Structure formats: structure tokens, C-alpha cells
Structure 1
Amino acid sequence: MAKANVVSFRRTGKSIFFALLYGLLSAIAINDFLNVTNSYSVGVLGAAQLIHALNGHLSMSLLMTLFNVPLFIFAWRVFGFRYILFSGLAALANIVFLGIIPPMVLVKDPLTNTIIGSAMIGLSVGWCFNNGFTTGGTDIIVTYCQRRFHKNVGFFANTVNGLIALLTLIFFGPGRIIYTIIGMLTVNGLMDYAFASQTDVMVVIFTKRADKLIKQLRKFTHGATVLRGEGAYTGKPTDVIMVVTPRGQFTFLRDLVKAVDANAFMSIQKSDVEQGEYTHYSL
């Protein structure tokens, strides 16, 4: 029980750190890089930039708040409270830092500004995804689609952000859209790179404490199948538990297993093809 509490504490601390890091990096990216060259970001950030550019009386903090409220209600119903907790912290940190970070011209070249700012956003979003939560906004919809249809998050992000690029072209002409498209591609490419959990893996667990481990796995999102085995050299019984899970959730699964059986052996294999439903326990 003590080990499980330590694991939970560390995971919570790690999630808080990356939520705050996203808020800081994304605010710096917007205020000091993307806004300098009038390049618009992705998702809600990009939409808020566009509306703010059209109507300067509406602050980005207010727009971010208004956009995120209905999406967080959806996320609460679909993903649960923990998902909302850290996503809300990430969104709140972004709103606060947007108001704190002073706008500065750090780099004059527009292409450099676009790439640096977009890279900061893409990496920080991917790190949040890897820790089981989003940064709010359209990331909630992207995460839902990724889990539902098992495609790269960049695929859905490009679809959503196409509308922002189109509006940029309509309202501001082709000059700004070039940098906006470059920025979007950079964000989505690095988001996919950082977000390892878009790939499903099959985890095979060899344990002699299957009964206790099964009780804990019932709390895990994905199903598991238990096979009764025997050691070839020792002749002693060894249970084999198989789980298919997104790679990003493997850390949670590994910590759960180690908290129950520190001597458990785990083998991880990439799952390239899936068919049918795998949501039951075969005990």
C-alpha cells in the first residue's frame, strides 16, 4: 500500500509539473514568438489569436476561458475527473502566464520566430498527452478521436486546424498563412514525436502474484487475459497476464504492477494491427 501511495504521489507531481510547464512555454511561444510575426498557433490558441487580432478589446485570456468551458464539460463526462483536473490546471496555467509574460521581440526573423514558438507548443502539448491529460481546447477532441479511432494525433489536429488556416487566408491574406501553415506543421510534427502513446503496445506480464495483481488491474482502463504457465527450468507455476494498452499509459501500468510484485517481468511489443473488442477479463 505504501509503494502504491508513493507511485501515485510521484505520478501526480509529474503531471502537475508538465501542466505548469505547458502553461509557461505556450505563453512564451505566443507572446514572444508567434505574435511577433503574426503567425497563428493551432487549436483554441490559434482561434483566440485570430479573434484577438480582429477585435483587440477581447483579451486572449477571456477568449481561452470561453472556449474551454464547454470542452471541459465534455471531457469530464468522457474521461473523468482526473483528466479534467490536470487539463484544467494546464489551461489555467496558460491563461495566467499569457497575462504575466511580457510581449518582447527576442528574434526578428519571422521564420525563426514561427519555428521556435511552434516547437515550444508542440513539445509541451505532447508531454502533457504522454502523462494522460490534454492542454484543454481542441486537444480534448483530438485525444478522444485518437483513442476512438487509433490514428496519430497530428492527423486530427491538421483537420481541425485547417479551418484556422482558411480564416487566416480570408481575413489577412496569403502573407500570414505561409508562416501559420509552417507553424502548424511544426506543432503537429513535434506533438506526434513527443506523444509516444499514440501507438498501442501489448504488455506481457510474468508474475507469481497474479491474484493480487488482477484485483489492481480491474481498476485499469483496458482488459487483461490471464494464462496459467509453468517455468521450463524450475517447473514452478508462473501466471502470464496479457494487456493491450496505448503506450502512453504503459508507465501507469508498469508502476501498478511493480507496486504489487516488484519481481514481475514485463515484455512490451508494439501492436500494429488490432481487430475486434478487447475489453473483458478472462480469468
Structure 2
Amino acid sequence: MVRWFQEVPWSKYAAKASTSVVYAIAAAVAVSFFYDSGNIYSSGVTGIAQIISRLSTQMIGVELPLSIVLLLLNVPLFLLGWYKISPKFTLYTGMTVAFTSLFMQIIPNQVLSTDPTINAIFGGVLLGAANGYILKSNSSSGGLDFITISIRRKTGKTIGSLSIIFNSMIMVAAGLLFGWQSALYSALAIFISGKVTDAVYTKQKKMQVMIITSEADAVIHGIHKNLRRGITIINEAEGAFRHDQKKVLITVVTRFELPILKQIMKENDPKSFVSISENVQILGRFYEEDL
């Protein structure tokens, strides 16, 4: 652990810290400017913390600070992340949670609109974009992200769809405790947030690529050099028009890696024919970068 800490360059710490700050500000603004105004409950542990904070006011007459509740709820989930994902990922996520708690404490509530639909849409988009951004940086916002990432590794389901499933419980709790109108708009915000997360977090989207090329060796070398992806080779493919001999290469990449693949093809065989199928389901081993 100490060795890993010493080996990571300080520039990487600075980049991770800046990413955490950007997420924390976006999440705090989404909650303070939109969700609180529309009586909307966020996804994940943030939504649970909102419910606990509001219940504390009704039950004991003292409002527990949202920032403190959020921090305390994340502590047991860090253990899951430490053992099931990676210590590095957990430490980076802890930094994000700490910044998020801080900014939720210092950013005051602002009423930009009293329309719950507007608040649900804008809050959901902002929080979803922030979630996707932090996941692209190999970190997370904490809370349920530890659970959804662990399940995604085993099932291949997307982060956004898993979040929608888990967060349905928050919607039901909000409905039972604070009224079903609140649950309805919370559901809308959670749905929008999940879809925006999927749109931004492109590392989870797998694409099957079929390459018909006469420069197979160069293309294979380029893919192996720049992408950690296996390739299936089909020899002696023949073009129907000119009857020239080619090879067919089949591989799977993520949408995040697609620009790299396009550059590889441009450098090694710009005349090749490339067919791409989006959002394919994978059974078997598929390398994913450690978090």
C-alpha cells in the first residue's frame, strides 16, 4: 500500500483531485439548486442521505446536516470497494466523497425554479453528467457505485441501468414518506441521471469491429500495440468484384477506444473496410482496465 502511494506521480494525484472537485461542485449544485427546490431525491447514497436528513427534522426536531450523513453512509461501503474493486479506486473515491460533503456544506440552497419538472430535468442531467465524468476518470461518487461496478463486472450490465434498478427503492421510500408526487419527480430525475451517465461513461459500451484488410499484419500489430484486445483472424477472404484476397479481423473494443482504433486503421490501412456493431453483449473474458 505504501509502495503504491510512493510510486504514483504527484501529477496524477493533482488530476484526480481536480476531477473530484469538479464532480463535487456539480453534485452539490444539482442538490442545492434543483433537487431541494423541487422536493426531489437524488440517486444512490445521496438520496438516502437526503431522506435521513429530512426525517431527522420531523422525528427529533433537529436537521442532521446532509454532508455529515452522506459521509457516514459511505464509510461501510468503502470496505466493499477496498476488497471487491481495488484500494486505489477506493482511496480516489474517498477523496471525491470528502469534497462532495464539503461543497454540500458550503454551497447554499438557491431556488432557481419551483417547477419540479424543470428541477428534475436539470438536476438529473447535471448529476448524470458528473457521474459519467467521474467514472471515466477511474473513480466514482461512492455509495452505490461500489455495488453497481461490482455487479457490472460479473453481469456486463451498464452502470446507468443498474443505478435505475437500485434507485427504485429510493423512489418508493420517498413516496411512502413524503408523498407520491415527490416519488414521481424523483423517478424522473433518477431516470434522466442514469441515461446521461451511460451517454458520458463510454468505457462500458462494447462494440464489435469487423475489419476486411489486405494489410492484416500491420493492423494487428497496431491494435496489439495500442489496445489490449484479442483478434480473431479469418484467412482467405475474397472480394466478389475484383476477386482479390483479403483477411477478415474481428475484435471487440469499447466506445472510449474507438477513436484510437480509427487512428490505427488510418495509419496502417486507410483503404480497409471496417464494420462496427454497437452495444454488443459479451460472454466470456473481456479485459477491462483496473480501477
> TM-score with structure 1 length normalisation?
0.73
Does structure 2 conserve the Cα–Cα contact (< 8 Å) formed by 1:134 and 1:143? Answer: no
Structure 1 pair 63/246, CA: closer, same or farther in 2 (3 Å)?
A: farther
Does structure 2 conserve the Cα–Cα contact (< 8 Å) formed by 1:61 and 1:98? Answer: yes
Query: Equivalent residue of 2:142, what SS?
Result: coil
How does 1:6-25 map onto structure 2 within 5 Å? 13-25=14-26
C-alpha offsets along residues 171-219 of structure 1, whole Å, 9 cap, x if unaligned? 1122211211111111111111111112135799x999x99x98999xx
Within 2, Cα distance between the matches of 1:114 and 1:226?
46
2:76 aligned with 1:70, yes or no?
Answer: yes
Within 1, Cα distance between the matches of 2:41 and 2:51?
7
Which residue in the other structure is 1:153 paired with? 159
Within 2, Cα distance between the matches of 1:132 and 1:179?
30
1:271 Cα deviation after fit: 7.2
How does 1:2-151 map onto structure 2 within 5 Å? 13-55=14-56, 56-151=62-157
1:82 Cα deviation after fit: 2.2
Does structure 1 conserve the Cα–Cα contact (< 8 Å) formed by 2:26 and 2:126? Answer: yes
Within 1, Cα distance between the matches of 2:178 and 2:66?
19
Does structure 1 conserve the Cα–Cα contact (< 8 Å) formed by 2:39 and 2:182? Answer: yes
Structure 1 pair 183/214, CA: closer, same or farther in 2 (3 Å)?
A: closer
1:57 Cα deviation after fit: 2.9
Structure 1 pair 60/112, CA: closer, same or farther in 2 (3 Å)?
A: same
1:22 Cα deviation after fit: 0.8
Which residue in the other structure is 2:180 paired with? 174
1:27 maps to amino acid: A
Query: Equivalent residue of 1:36, what SS?
Result: coil
The alignment covers a number of residue pairs equal to: 258
Structure 1 pair 92/202, CA: closer, same or farther in 2 (3 Å)?
A: farther
How does 1:189-228 map onto structure 2 within 5 Å? 189-201=195-207
1:78 Cα deviation after fit: 2.0
Within 1, Cα distance between the matches of 2:217 and 2:13?
27
Structure 1 pair 244/72, CA: closer, same or farther in 2 (3 Å)?
A: farther
Within 2, Cα distance between the matches of 1:275 and 1:115?
32
Query: Equivalent residue of 2:141, what SS?
Result: coil
2:22 maps to amino acid: L
- Consecutive unaligned residues of structure 2, counting only runs of 5 or more, are 1-8, 57-61, 211-215, 234-248
Within 2, Cα distance between the matches of 1:61 and 1:168?
19
Does structure 2 conserve the Cα–Cα contact (< 8 Å) formed by 1:207 and 1:264? Answer: no
Which residue in the other structure is 1:183 paired with? 189
C-alpha offsets along residues 199-251 of structure 1, whole Å, 9 cap, x if unaligned? 135799x999x99x98999xx8xx75799xxxxxxxxxxxxx99856555x49
> TM-score with structure 2 length normalisation?
0.71
- Consecutive unaligned residues of structure 1, counting only runs of 5 or more, are 1-7, 228-240
Structure 1 pair 49/203, CA: closer, same or farther in 2 (3 Å)?
A: same
Query: Which protein has the larger Cα radius of gyration, Structure 1 or Structure 2?
Result: 2
Does structure 2 conserve the Cα–Cα contact (< 8 Å) formed by 1:42 and 1:184? Answer: yes
C-alpha offsets along residues 137-196 of structure 1, whole Å, 9 cap, x if unaligned? 101111122222111222211111111111111111222112111111111111111111
Cα-Cα RMSD: 4.0
Identity percentage over the alignment? 24
